[in-house]
Structure 1
Amino acid sequence: MTLGWDTVPSPFVEISRETWRTLRADDRLPLTPGELNALRGLRDPIDTTEVEDIYLPLARLLSLFFTADERLRGTIGEFLGEPVGPTPFIIGIAGSVAVGKSTTSRLLRTLLARRPEHPTVELVSTDSFLYPNAVLADRGLLDRKGFPESYDRKALLRFVSAMKSGAEEVTIPVYSHLEYDIVPGAEQTVRRPDILIVEGLNVLQPPAPGSQAISDFFDFSIYVDARIEHIRQWFIERLFALYRTAFVNPRSYFHRYSQVDQDEIAAFAHRVWREVNEVNLVSNILPTRERATLVLRKDADHSVRGIRLRRI
């Protein structure tokens, strides 16, 4: 019998929060409230209950994948008749601006590093591969920062490929959110970890014809999802928080906005969302959601209400 399109089984399994929270097994929270507060992003209300219900099961799942990957490497070595050198287990984390993917990344880095296996875990943001502002301005792309074309994709691909090839260490640029630019002369050295987390807006972008995508090197990928109207509100709230904090710093790229009134800041926030972030989300980021291994679906209060996991 031939199945019609409406009867084809989904490659994903939908898991409720109530079911997901039971999958942490006996894992206990390895974080103090103070440590969690340090990992939490600006305006991100994540609490210990959220970590226990959502992120402990996720860390356990990732740990199982990591262990299975090590066994697979041994199987390949057995087939080839020679040892296969260690390479990092690479996790990609994607999602919109202000959706909480940076908090998710930092939290998973800490939880995975404190698993019983004690793997070494490195976290890299694709912000490190943005072109410097001078280059973006020269190319007329400064208002499209965060769009796929604003990144040095070749350099990003070389980095991920080198890591997956077992390179001992790779040096990458450093991006300053305060200065809103690549820091001249600054470098981050990534020494071959057991697990590498790569976080960014566009990490699940498909490859151009005849080329590779960075997601081709991922062993597991996560998309942090929410309704657009909720993300818009979170972005505006976060920008107002920055207006009262980081913008006051004279080194801040946006310091000039610390001198304007709240109505002007509100207008600025809505314009940036409407003309930049929402366009990028709808055109480039959201279409990659179906490529993820796992989707975390957030509600208006930032809490995860459902999980979508690819079966295999």
Structure 2
Amino acid sequence: MPEVKLKPSIEQRFTLFDREEWRAHRADTPMTLSPNDLLQLRGADEMISLDEVADIYLPLSRLLNLHVSNTIELYRSTFRFLGTVPAKVPYIIGLAGSVSVGKSTSARILRSLLARWPSHPNVELISTDGFLHSNQVLRKRGLMERKGFPESYDVRTLLNFLANVKAGKHNVKAPVYSHIVYDIVPGEHQVINQPDILIVEGLNVLQVNTAPGLDDVIFASDFFDFSIYVDAETEIIRDWYIARFLNFRQTAFRDPNSYFGRYATLSDDEARDTALSIWTRINERNLVENIRPARFRADLILKKGLDHRVESVALRKL
């Protein structure tokens, strides 16, 4: 039988909300973040306001709280059926999106909001950057210009990590990545110890690429209970990337250990040209070829406009 490829239709697969419609689903969910809390959570180049949290992220935290509660009860029912002792099974949320789209800030805000619900106070956040191959391996394979593409990740280690977390194992270790040195930090690990919720944030967490040689085809998203994609038009993300690059000349690039220290002294025009070149060669290609095509696999899509303001929300139909 020939393979049938269906072009995804967002209207068929998702219920669409404009900002006003989505805000109404906050109901009576209280605002639990202060202006100072938000200052610590948002990116240096993202001026997200408490109104954005109230309109977009509080309704989302309410939805996720309901999902978590129902999923936990489902797990308990299954254990009762099997006659086994209930194990603590973390609820895992995947959060994907392009470089510079603001997914890390969204993940931090969600983590903070979800941890304030009394039924699941232990919320952990991990980035899949830690599962990139080291620069040494990437250079050997000729992949430094494809860092962030699916083939640049140690998929087997990522899948083993997620499997162990989902199995409720204690003290599961994940590698740590430094954006300053632009590499895995040898000997450093983030330890995940049976959280109530784990948020997994990264470029390609919704991808269906897998490591060669696995007996069964499994994907990172197989371990997710809920997934989110942060979206924006390509030109808008490009402008955010360039603005962030210009800002980093005065901050991260000036760190003596920075891999990108050579860019700290570029003029404005030189920095824009360099940022645009990097964006076009690497980040835009990854977005168009790998990241954005997977957005329809998400349970919820946040579509941003200018100033990182979410303009619409798409929620997968049941």
Establish whether TM, by shorter chain, passes 0.5.
yes
Alignment partners' CA distance in 2, 1:9 and 1:106: 29
Alignment partners' CA distance in 2, 1:271 and 1:110: 35
Q: Residue 85 in 1 paired to residue 91 in 2?
A: no
Query: 1:308 is matched with which residue?
Result: 314
The answer on whether the counterparts of 2:150 and 2:209 sit within 8 Å (CA) in structure 1 is no
Q: TM-score, normalised by structure 2?
A: 0.93
Helix, strand or coil: the match of 2:30? Answer: coil
Identity over the aligned pairs, expressed in percent?
Answer: 51
Q: Residue 251 in 1 paired to residue 254 in 2?
A: no
Alignment partners' CA distance in 2, 1:171 and 1:81: 30
Deviation at 1:12, TM superposition (A): 1.3
Q: Which amino acid aligns with 2:45?
A: R
Helix, strand or coil: the match of 2:124? Answer: strand
Alignment partners' CA distance in 2, 1:129 and 1:301: 30
Alignment partners' CA distance in 2, 1:284 and 1:116: 37
The equivalent position to 1:274 in structure 2, one of 255, 260, 280, is 280
Equivalences for residues 2-151 of structure 1 within 5 A? 10-151=12-153
Q: Which amino acid aligns with 2:281?
A: E
Helix, strand or coil: the match of 1:259? Answer: coil
Q: Residue 289 in 1 paired to residue 295 in 2?
A: yes
Deviations 1:14-73 (A, max 9, x none): 111101111111112111111101100121111000000000000010000000001101
The answer on whether the counterparts of 2:10 and 2:296 sit within 8 Å (CA) in structure 1 is no
Helix, strand or coil: the match of 1:185? Answer: strand
Alignment partners' CA distance in 1, 2:148 and 2:10: 36
Deviations 1:153-211 (A, max 9, x none): 10000000111111112111111111111111111111110100000000000155941
Deviations 1:209-242 (A, max 9, x none): 9410010010000000000010000000011011
Pair 261,212 (structure 1): closer, same or farther in 2 beyond 3 Å: same
Q: Which amino acid aligns with 1:139?
A: R
Alignment partners' CA distance in 1, 2:275 and 2:261: 15
Q: Which moved more, 1:291-300 or 1:261-270?
A: 261-270
Alignment partners' CA distance in 1, 2:102 and 2:307: 12
The answer on whether the counterparts of 1:74 and 1:83 sit within 8 Å (CA) in structure 2 is no
Alignment partners' CA distance in 1, 2:82 and 2:97: 39
Q: Which amino acid aligns with 2:23?
A: R
Q: Which amino acid aligns with 2:309?
A: S
Pair 7,250 (structure 1): closer, same or farther in 2 beyond 3 Å: closer
Q: Which amino acid aligns with 1:135?
A: V
The answer on whether the counterparts of 1:92 and 1:198 sit within 8 Å (CA) in structure 2 is yes
Please list every run of 5 or more consecutive structure 1 residues that lacks an aligned counterpart in the other structure: none
The answer on whether the counterparts of 2:97 and 2:103 sit within 8 Å (CA) in structure 1 is yes
Pair 84,118 (structure 1): closer, same or farther in 2 beyond 3 Å: closer
Deviation at 1:256, TM superposition (A): 1.1
The number of residue pairs the alignment matches comes to 308
Pair 9,285 (structure 1): closer, same or farther in 2 beyond 3 Å: closer
Deviation at 1:8, TM superposition (A): 12
Please list every run of 5 or more consecutive structure 2 residues that lacks an aligned counterpart in the other structure: 1-6
RMSD: 1.8
Alignment partners' CA distance in 1, 2:153 and 2:34: 36
Which structure 1 residue ranges, 4+ long, deviate > 3 Å from structure 2? 5-9, 207-210
